Amino acid sequence: MKRFKERDGFKKHILIVDDEFVNREILGNIFNGLYDVTYAEDGEQAMEILREKPYDFALMLLDLLMPKMDGFTVIKYCKEDELLKRIPIIVMTSEKSAEIESIRLGAIDFITKPYDMPEVILARVERIIEFAEDKNIIQATEKDSLTGLYTKEYFLRYISQIEKYAPGTKMDAVVLNIDHFHLINEIYGRDFGDEILVLVANELQDMIENMHGGLASRVNADTFYVYLEHKDIYGHNVLEKINRQIYERTGTQNIRVRLGVYPDVDKAVQPEMWYDRAVIACNRIREDYTRNVAYYDKKLYDRAIYEEKLIRDFYTAVTEKQLMVYFQPKFNITGDRPRLSSAEALIRWKHPELGMISPGDFVPLFEGNGLIQKLDNYVWEEAARQIRLWKDKYNVTIPVSVNVSRIDIYDPKLFDKLTNLVEKYGLTTNEYMLEITESAYSENVNELIDVVNKLREKGFKIELDDFGSGYSSLNMLTTLPIDVLKMDMKFIRNMLTDYKNLKLVEIILDIARLLKVPVIAEGVEEENQYKTLKDRGCDVIQGYYFSKPLPASEFNLLIEKDLEEQ
């Protein structure tokens, strides 16, 4: 009987329940040394033992006819208890009619008295314990413990099963995402975040029931998948209800849910691809608060193919220098005439097949997939090299500011990368400035401030880009370690036609004076804009009024012109 001995380094624990001492002894001898055995003389005693230690037992052998509480009642109680119903029950009886009733109530097997075949009993007990443990593992991994929805793995498995039996039914793949969910956990705590997730899960379950069937899954922290029969219009009532409840609980409209739908899925491709496409649709409205639902269509498909090509060609673009750094000049307007004072490094991509690609096409794409860090590192190197070339050629310094993305902030090698570049090209930190967008300060503020303080201690100048775009508060300005404010171009664009925008420009200039930092106005395109900003005390202007972004060879002409006018 060696094959029945303890497995996995420990003995399984079984409970034998029988009012006859002789039967308990016989069974005990059969299992002796192979399992840990606990005995109960009747149903009441068995229930006391089970309720005290519900996780201890791998199996119960149960007599049916006992005083105080019979075996049928024990089975009934166990199957109604969430903790005990996982324990497989083998009934022990000599009554054929009782076997059927016990199985109907929830017993998994039966052993006929008298116990004259120990090898058969041991084999059946071992096999049933194995099946029960496998079942419990499946149940534990099948559903998300928080929401009760399917895990991604089982969700996709069940979709495959559905397609076997209903291959011709039109179906939709739906993705739901909670915008800025990390802010819920950071501001309100993880327990509150869990409440929101459960709220969303419950609403999805209701949606499935109202649509007469479907599947739902929570695939990660803030994303849900749904599989439903095709319909033409989606989610407005559900989304409005969820978003209203989130707003009532948080008081902010920045946290909302949005849907991406891949309608009438192409069943010639794998389900994973359906949801990739639904995610693409969902992501298209990440920053668009005018709508909550987006559909995957031919236009999005073509866009996805285009973006996939950009991602695939990125590394070749780096090695072959298809990526070019342009420089947009900044002019100091505090004196009698504008003077070239510095520049911002901007990226351009001259693709051998697609021609000049707008940064608006690839920068947000790379921000989303992590390639932005490699792109930034490329720009940083090229900008530092160009500052050195200008110093050597013209014996002047043209400081250049480079963008530091949110993902760069959390790079443990950030400080070393920047200081090594400055040292490599013989620059000072005053010549190599860093731009950080205002939105970066909305995430993990304390860590960001620590990083920026460390950079400033080394001498780097920090420009706060896109100031006024809607993330920071006036109170926050007192803690931000910055050296320059860059005013968001939205204010400049509308300040001559909208009095409120003009007043906001004046307020930002007043704030900068209070903080004793200069202001750079971006997006200046007209002379009236230039004069208005100069009259109100703006320090530096950047925009097409003076110059569009230029390759280094054309920027040289601006330097030469400025030197001639000195």
DSSP 96-107: HHHHHHHHHHT-
CA distance 178 to 428: 44
Confidence of residue 235 (pLDDT cuts 50, 70, 90): low
CA distance 530 to 241: 47
pLDDT at 521: 94
> Which of the 8 DSSP states describes residue 279?
H
CA distance 279 to 300: 11
Confidence of residue 441 (pLDDT cuts 50, 70, 90): low
The amino acid sitting at 401 is S
SS3 call for 326: strand
13-17/36-40 β-pairing = parallel
pLDDT at 439: 66
pLDDT at 269: 87
Query: Which residue shows structure tokens 């780097």?
Result: 460
pLDDT at 139: 56
Mean pLDDT (the chain) is: 85
Element (H, E) at 376: helix 372-394
CA distance 403 to 244: 37
C-alpha closest to that of 70 among 99, 41, 108:
41
Which pair of tokens denotes residue 305?
């193919």
- Residue-wise pLDDT for 73-114, tens only, equals 999 888 888 778 888 888 887 776 777 777 788 888 888 777
Pick 438 or 130 by higher pLDDT: 130
Strand order in the sheet with 257-262: 215-220, 223-229, 171-178, 257-262, 293-295
The CA–CA distances, whole Å, from 329 to 240, 343, 546, 558, 563 equal 46, 4, 8, 9, 15
CA distance 222 to 186: 14
- Residue-wise pLDDT for 106-139, tens only, equals 888 888 777 767 888 888 888 888 777 666 655 5
- Residue 318: is it exposed, middle or buried by C-beta count within 10 angstroms (0-12/13-18/19+)? middle
**DSSP, residue by residue, 168-210:** TS-EEEEEEEETTHHHHHHHH-HHHHHHHHHHHHHHHHHHHHH
CA distance 291 to 314: 32
Rounded to two decimals, the pTM is 0.63
- Residue 221: is it exposed, middle or buried by C-beta count within 10 angstroms (0-12/13-18/19+)? exposed
- Residue-wise pLDDT for 446-459, tens only, equals 778 888 889 999 99
- Asked if the bond preceding 551 is cis, omega within 30° of 0, the reply is no
pLDDT at 469: 63
pLDDT of 354 higher than 90: yes
The residues with which 487 forms a beta bridge, in sequence order, are: 467, 521
